[in-house]
Amino acid sequence: MEKLLKLQKGDKVAIVSPSFAASSVWPHVHELGLKRIREVFGLEPVVYPATAKLDATLDEKSADLIAAFSDTNIKAVISTLGGDIQVT
C-alpha cells in the first residue's frame, strides 16, 4: 500500500460518472462544480466522455474509469454521483 500524496494546485483530477449521468440532466450544477474545483481548490478537472452522456453504456462508463486510473497525469478520481450501476 502506497501513501497517497496531497493534491497540489494545478493537479489534474478525473471527473467520471460510473452510474447515473446527472451532469447531463443538471449541466448547470455540473458546471458550478467544475468551477469550484478550479477556483476553490486550484485543480484542473478532466471530464471523461461518458460523464454527461445519459445513455452511456456500461462499457463506456468502465472505459472512462479504466482510462482515469491508468493516466499517470491524473492525481485523483472524482465521481459525480453514485448509484446502482457504480457497484456493477
pLDDT for residue 1: 79
Instruction: Indicate if the pLDDT at residue 16 is higher than 60.
Output: yes
Contact by Cβ (8 Å): 22, 81: yes
pLDDT tens per residue, range 42-53: 999 999 999 999
Name the pTM for this structure: 0.87
Q: 47 — phi, psi (to 5°)?
A: -85, 125
Give the β-pairing of 12-16 and 74-79: parallel
pLDDT for residue 83: 66
